[in-house]
Amino acid sequence: MTHAMPKLPYAMDALEPNMSQETLEYHYGKHLQTYINNLNNLVIGTKYENSPLEYIVSNADGPLFNNAAQAWNHTFFFESFSPTPQQAPTGKLLEAINRDFGSFDAFKEQFTKAAVGIFGSGWAWLVTNDAGVLSIVSESNAGNPLTKGLRPLLTCDVWEHAYYIDYRNSRPNFLNAFWNVVDWEKIEKRYEEK
Ligand code: MN
Give residue-wise pLDDT tens across range 77-87. Answer: 999 999 999 99
Distance of CA 75 from the midpoint of ligand 1 (Å): 10
Distance of CA 181 from the midpoint of ligand 1 (Å): 16
Distance of CA 97 from the midpoint of ligand 1 (Å): 26
Distance of CA 168 from the midpoint of ligand 1 (Å): 15
Confidence of residue 1 (pLDDT cuts 50, 70, 90): confident
Q: pLDDT tens digits for 113-152?
A: 999 999 999 999 999 999 999 999 999 999 999 999 999 9
- Nearest Cα to 41, choosing from 77, 79, 3? 3
Question: What pLDDT score was predicted for residue 16?
Answer: 98
- Ligand 1 ion: nearby residues, β-carbon < 5 Å: 157, 159, 162
Question: What pLDDT score was predicted for residue 194?
Answer: 66
Distance of CA 105 from the midpoint of ligand 1 (Å): 25
Question: What pLDDT score was predicted for residue 165?
Answer: 98
Distance of CA 153 from the midpoint of ligand 1 (Å): 17
Beta carbons within 8 Å of 118's beta carbon, 6+ residues apart = 124, 138, 139, 140, 158
Question: What pLDDT score was predicted for residue 72?
Answer: 98
The b/e string for 10-42 (b: 16+ C-beta within 10 A; e otherwise) is bebebbbebbbeebbebbbbebbeebbebbeeb
What's the chain's Rg over C-alpha atoms? 16
Confidence of residue 11 (pLDDT cuts 50, 70, 90): very high
